[in-house]
Every structure is written in C-alpha cells, then in structure tokens.
Structure 1
C-alpha cells in the first residue's frame, strides 16, 4: 500500500470503511417473533466474499444463523475467543443518512450496526484474515463467534456454548462487546479512557400480578388491582430496597480516573477508600449510572389491565426488569421485592433469571494483556476497569470461560455512544485500522503465554 505512513493509513481507512460498509448494507434486524434467517445467510455470503482466507483455513460451524470459526493453533494452550453479534436493532426515527446505506461521509461510516456491533466484528475478522494471508499460525486455537440473536436474548450464544462444552473447550479468555475508547467517560472526567468491562450484573424479567373483583368502571372501587400495583411501584421508587456497596471494579475505576477529575468528584474518587461509606449512601442519589454499578436495580417496563376502557380489571400485571449486583444476587433481591409486593397482595413471578457473571480480575493476566496492548497501540489512553450495567452474549459463556472481557478497541465520541440503539449510528473510519491491529497483537501475545 505504499511507503508513506499517512498514505497507508488513509488507504487502510477507506478500504476498511468500504468493506465494513458492505456488512452494514445487509440489513440484519433480529426479531423475537418469526425470526427470518434468510437475511443472516445473505450476510454470511458477504462475510465469505470479504474474508476468503478465514473461510478456506478455519473450521466453520453454524447454529441457526449464528457462526463459530475455529482457527487451529500449533500449541496445546487454552484457546481464546473473539465475539461480536451480527444482528442489529430496528432503525426507527429520522436519520441523517440511510441506516442501511453504508455511506462514508466526512470521514465517518453511517449505518445501523457500525458501533453495535458489526464494527468490532469486522475488525477481528479483518485481523485474522490478514494474519492468515501472511502465513501466520497462532500459538493456540482462536475462536471467532457471532450470534444472530444477541439483541433478542435468543438461542445463538447458548447453542454455540453447548457445542464448545461438547468439545471440552475451556477458554483462556474471551473478548466481547462492552466498553470502548471514549473521551470524558463520566461527566467531569477529562481524558481518553479505554473502559474495559470486567463485571456484568445478573438479569431478571419479573411479572407482578394483582387480582380483585373487577366490574364496571361506572361503580367506584378502592384497592383495585391497578391501584395496588401503582402503590407498589411508588413504594419501590420511593424506598429503594437494595443495598449499595462499593465493589473492587468500581473502586479501581475511580482510583484510575481520580487524577483526571477536577473538583469534589475528583477528591471523592481520590479518597474513595476513606469515603466509601459516604459514597455508598450518596452515589445512588446523585448519579443513576453510578448507582447501577454498585447495587441491584429494578425498573418497571410493561403493564396490562382490562381489555375495555370502561372495565375495572379482575387481574392486572406489570413487568419489571432487574439487574442483580454480585453482593445481592437474584435470590436475596427477589425476596426483598416480593416482601414489599405482598403488602399490596401482589404475586411475584420470575420469568427469566440470569445469575451475575464471574468478575474479571483487573490484576489478572487477561486484563493486564489488554492493558499492555492498549498502552502500546493507543498512547495517552488511560485503561480503566468498569462495571457494565447492560447485558451481553458473554453471560452465556460462563460454563466455558471465567475471564470474559467486555471491550471493543474502537474510539467513539459522545454522539456515537448515544447513537447505540438510537438514530444516526456511525463510526469514524480512522478508528478501524488501530482496532484491527489491536486484535492482531492480542493473538501474537499468545506466544510464550504461561497459564
């Protein structure tokens, strides 16, 4: 591609942008109802066109539209796995550019999935494609996974994990979506930070049901199913039943951010250990995101009452979405909520429960490897562990992996961060080459790794 460094970078940017653009132009919206796999098979054809070396060299497995490639290594060490999902959410609202146009405008590639998560999928596939082209053989087996059901919590990742279990695979570590490289990751924190997800909370969907006599709306009633549900929800909102407790991941995040944070927040971060009891009390009141990092949360999401506008329902329910922190898991958190619900004669029914995932030790080898490569590839970027408040496919991999690192080495700005599941999703194409090189370095650093 030429000797001029800037010229090479610019050529790579455009080449990668155009290649990722082909992936963006293939619409892969997943749906809980009537999942259409044909769009994903079309996407697979594009991947085969873009990454011929991977398809010729790697062992390929497909699970109802979800993909797994095995790139065999020359050694006997534990394998590693890179993963990013191929499905995307709907692209509603008014977009500046066609959400499935894959246009490159003003140095940015626009479209649904550029950030979440076809961008990172492209980068690790491109990294492996180029390594194979150069004749490189990895020290250990390298797996490349891409679910087509991440956005709907479907069977893609579980089926992949089931296959890995059947093969007796235990991963050294994996890397999935999660944190990225971002300037001012929290308000008042100045600097470029690589936010490496080390902690993923548990997950729960809960139905709360109230029953009563029902009747015609023209006859006034008290303590109806709906009014009891309303009182219950207000009680939860006013009197948070969950305990906030600082965890090592968030404490270390604060410690690393402290030198770059001015004012009171910086002082609190700097003296986090001494101020921990105060912080545990105040953080939930002043910062919702901070609260979510150190406690279980419950948000009410759906409701159903009568089928008619003039009917008092005999039965009504609301659903709640819970995210369980490690120190107060599903059993204890549900017991607290159920106790409050009983005051209002409301039944508590878990629909779906996932336990909190194993926490990645920021002092451990996998995290330190990511930190080492980041410092080498991205000078000036501060690496910090953080607690994820959302969920990823990595939660399904617990049976085969105890070190699930949730991080994609892509640099994004605030608008791009806000565009995830929103409008005008885009990524700067100059972020792609370094991300590709990051994954190459991770693979190469398996040489000489000792368990």
Structure 2
C-alpha cells in the first residue's frame, strides 16, 4: 500500500523536475531574415532566371543530352572564370569541376543537381520563363535546386575574380539524373574513386533555411540534414481463379490486399524510437518553442514515451523521423465492375530508419504478406545512409559557417525523409551534409515538385556568401590551429 502511495509522489517530482528544467532554459528567437540587397540580388536573380529558362526535365532511362548541353552553355556564359580556370569533366551530361587548392588534404565537394521534374498543370507564370516579379524568381527548378547550383558557381566566380586560392582542393558537382534516382551521381563518384579522392565534406541539397520546421516554432531555422532514410518500392500480388462478381467467394484478391492494409494500419508493425539525431533536433529547437511545446521537447527523457505514438498526428514529417514508414501508392485489379480479378496488385513505398533498416523492415513486410497469402516482389531497395557525426569536425564547421553567414539563425540537425544524390557519396566521404542555403517558406515548399515553384531573390546573396565562407573555412581553421 505504501508503495502505491509513492507512485503519485514520484510522478509529481518528475513533472516538477521537468518544469524547473524548462523554466531555467532561456527563451530564444531565431530572428534571421534575408537583408535587402537590391542590386546584388537582382544580378543573381537574372543569372538564376537564365538557368531556369533551360528546360532540364529528366525522365527515367531517357538520354536527352541536348537539353543539358544547352544548359552547360549557359553556365559557361554566366560563370566564365569557373570555366577558364577550373578543370571540367563531363560524363553523360553530369558535371565535375576540380579547383586545385594549396593542399590535397581534406578536399570538399559542393553539389546540386541540374535536372528538374516535369512541369504540369496551369502555372501563374510559364514554368520555364524565369519570370522575375513579386520579389521572386519563378519557374521549375528555382528552389529544386538551381538556386543553390547558381550560388556555388557564383561563389567560385567571385573568389576567382579576387585571385583566391583555396587551402584545400575543391570540387563542384552536378548530376542530371537526381530526380529519378539515376546513375548520374554514381558515375561522378566512380570518377572520383578512380582519382583516389577521399572527401572531407560533401555539401548537397536536402535541408535548408526552413520557416517553422515544426508547427508552433516560429521563425527561420537552418535545418542541416545529417542522414537520409533508405527506401524501397515493393509490389504485392494476390491471385485467384477470378470469376463473375454475382457469386463472389471468400477472400478474393482485393479482399486479401485490403486485409493486409488494414492489418498494417491497425497494428503499426514498425518501432518508433528517438534516434540521437532526432533527440538533438528537439533539444536544439526547444528554447525557440512556446512553453508547452518547450516543456515536452526539452524533456524527452520524461515525455518521449508519450510523444512516440502521437507525434505523427501532430506533424507527419516529424513522425516519419521516428520509424520506418509505409505508404500504399498504387493498386490494380479487374478491368470490369462485374469481374473478379485473377490478379490484384498493390504498390508500396517504404522509407527505412537506422534502428529498423532495410533487411528487418522488409522481413516484417514479408511475414505480413505471407500471413495474407500475398506474393511479394522488391522492385528496388537501398538502406539508409550513414549518419554524420553531429559533434564531428565537418558538421561543426558547417554550423559555424552558417552562424557567420546568417546572423541570428538557429542551427539544428535534421533527418532527411527523402532521397538525394549525397547518398552515393558516402562511399568516399564520412560527412555528407544536406543543406541548401536558401529560404524555404510555405510557398516554396508547396511549389517544389508542384505548381508555381519559386524562390525569393533576396535570399540569393546569402546563399552565395555561405558557399564562399565554406570554401574559405578550411583556411581559417588551419590558421586557427597554428
């Protein structure tokens, strides 16, 4: 009896400890906004607009090199010093530039893809017009990812104009198959491997300067991607003898597929866990949150078990950082309303998390498929990427450069739920960081792969300066260590 009385007292003490800890954590604001620099931002906007006017739409397994050759001509015209002084290699439309530094130690690679997804639907401004209006550059590829591509080319152009020689070797890379997971980036990696290159740092797209990364946390935040989830496309098939719908037997193919989906929706077979990178994200963002959210986010040691089952309902993006996700994306059955199919299929997309990776997640799915009498075919699959050490030298360097370039901007590690070309570079680099130094507000996030893609042009000077500072960071770090 006495033990039972101690339980409420212990709960009260734990809550008081969390409350005191929260009250002792100072409130912070991430108050960075892009400054007005009309002349420079307009100059950069026009360069970006010219790049957008080149339609570089890529299609799976289609080799359309002419459009990329035209895009490469634009790059040559807009960034002449880069093309005069850097060594360029073109591999099936994919670009690799080598900028010789003072040392071959700790080389870095800046990258962003040149291809874009198809532009469908009715746009306010034509998708390849590169319209500059309303403080934005409009068109397919502005935010994904020609803005960052333009920014690091411009950074190199400005440094070359000042006769700057980097402390380390610098590589610039751009694939033309990223949007469909093609072989562009792997070909560039193979070329670097052939040269015997081991990279200190890769900086690709993925994260960015995100407005309100979690609901309720106001302001802009530098969300730096430190790993990306794995992925798989799976086809599940149910078979039967078919027949007329007037006398349906039990357990038709569609019913078995439906039972499979219901089973997964009801029992949620994938474990939820706060990985160190996710816990660090919550801890870093907590001081910027309103009190209730701050209390929970800053005390995962107490509230974590409560947060796991409900986080996905608060934020689908945040919930996806805790577990392997499964999405049902395609379905087929009979061609007629009154015919039972002999075969019905279900397309599934999974995204793997480190604590329950590709092998274990697919094994769980296969057991459930067997339970419901389904055939399972893995169309394609790759595991999660290796996480970047958020206390390591490379992440710390990027974090410091962000602070120098964007005063007042909070920095947090971030888990990529999507896929990037950086995945392929982990063969030759332990620190593949995903961060595009441009501002993604709700409008930009909505337009990415959707209608009316755009980017605010006042954020372009900061993007250029970020890459300039990152290239020069190695020199400063070397000087500081002496």
Would the TM-score normalized by the shorter structure come out above 0.5?
A: yes
Tell me how far apart the structure 1 counterparts of residues 477 and 196 of structure 2 sit (CA, whole Å): 21
Is 1:113–1:425's contact at 8 Å kept on the other side of the alignment? yes
Answer yes or no: is 1:85 the counterpart of 2:113: yes
How far did 1:278 drift? 2.1
* 8 Å Cα contact 1:244-1:284 kept in structure 2: no
CA offset digits 1:287-326 (Å, max 9, x no partner): 3222200100010111222345543222221111110000
C-alpha contact (below 8 Å) 2:35/2:458 kept by paired residues: no
Show the counterpart of 1:137: 165
- C-alpha contact 1:181 1:411 (8 A) present in aligned 2: yes
CA-based RMSD:
1.8
Q: Given that residues 214 and 315 in structure 2 are in contact (C-alpha distance below 8 angstroms), is that contact kept between their aligned partners in structure 1?
A: no
SS of 2:225's equivalent in the other structure is strand
Q: Does 1:304 align with 2:344?
A: no
Q: How many residue pairs get matched?
A: 446
Name which of 200, 206, 219 aligns with 1:191: 219
Residue 165 (str. 1) matches residue 193 (str. 2): yes
TM-score of the superposition, structure 2-length normalised?
Answer: 0.89
Which residue, 240, 259, 267 being the options, matches 2:295? Answer: 267
Summarize the Cα distance change of 1:114–1:31 in structure 2 as closer, same or farther, 3 Å threshold: same
In the alignment, which residue of structure 2 is the partner of 1:391? 419
- Counterpart secondary structure, 1:275: helix
Give 1:74's aligned residue: 102
**Any residues of structure 2 matched to 1:61-140 within 5 Å, and which?**
61-140=89-168
- Partner Cα distance (1:69, 1:378) in 2: 27
Give the aligned partner of residue 428 of structure 2: 400
1:53 aligns to 2:81 (yes or no): yes
2:381 corresponds to: 353
Q: Looking at secondary structure, tell me which structure has more helix per residue.
A: 2
| Aligned residue number for residue 341 of structure 2 | 313
1:35, distance to aligned residue in structure 2 (A):
3.7
Superposed, 1:224-263 pairs within 5 Å as 224-263=252-291
Unaligned runs of at least 5 residues, structure 2:
1-33
Distance between the aligned counterparts of 1:177 and 1:167, measured in 2?
24
Q: Give the equivalent residue in structure 2 for 1:175.
A: 203
Pick which of 211-220 and 68-77 moved more. Answer: 211-220
TM-score, normalisation: structure 1: 0.95
CA deviations over 1:99-134 (Å, ceiling 9, x no partner): 111011022111111100000000001101111121
8 Å CA contact retained: 2:228, 2:385: yes
Partner SS state of residue 126, structure 2 = coil
- Describe the shift of the 1:221–1:177 C-alpha distance in structure 2 as closer, same or farther (beyond 3 A): same
CA shift in 2, pair 1:8/1:95, >3 Å? closer
The answer (yes or no) to whether the contact 1:67–1:145 under 8 Å persists in 2 is yes
Deviations 1:321-356 (A, max 9, x none): 110000000111111111111111012221111111
Note the alpha carbon deviations across 1:169-209, whole angstroms, 9 max, x for none. 11101011111112322110123211111121111111111
Q: Tell me the distance in 2 between the aligned counterparts of 1:166 and 1:216.
A: 61
Residue 216 (structure 1) shift = 3.5
* Structure 1 contact 115–427 (Cα < 8 Å) conserved: yes
- After superposition, residues 430-445 of structure 1 pair within 5 angstroms as 430-445=458-473
Structure 1 residue 449, shift from structure 2 partner: 4.3
| Deviation string, structure 1 residues 58-80 (Cα, Å, up to 9, x no partner) | 12112211111111112120211
Contact 1:192 1:380 in 2 (8 A): no
Contact preservation (8 Å) 1:303, 1:318: yes
| Separation (CA, whole Å) in 2 of partners of 1:120 and 1:268 | 35
Give 1:282's match in structure 2, choosing from 302, 310, 318.
310
Distance in 1 of aligned mates of 2:265 and 2:95 = 42
Q: Compute the displacement of 1:368 (Å).
A: 1.1
Task: Give how far 1:217 is off.
Answer: 3.6
Q: Secondary structure at the match of 1:395?
A: helix
Quick one: distance in 2 between partners of 1:8 and 1:349?
A: 54
CA distance in structure 2 between the partners assigned to 1:276 and 1:17 by the alignment: 44
**Structure 1, unaligned stretches of length 5 or more?**
1-5
1:416 corresponds to 2:474: no
Residue pair 1:202, 1:323 contacting (<8 A) in 2 also = yes
Task: Name the counterpart of 1:3.
Answer: none
State the secondary structure of the residue aligned to 2:318.
helix
Query: Which position in structure 1 is the counterpart of 2:13?
Result: none
Q: Is the 8 A contact 1:115 1:416 kept in 2?
A: yes
Task: Give CA deviations for 1:187-240 in whole Å, capped at 9, x if unaligned.
Answer: 101232111111211111111111111234444232122221121112112221
The structure with more radius of gyration: 2
Matches within 5 A, 1:16-31: 16-31=44-59
| Per-residue deviation, 1:367 | 1.2
Q: Work out whether 1:223 is the aligned partner of 2:251.
A: yes
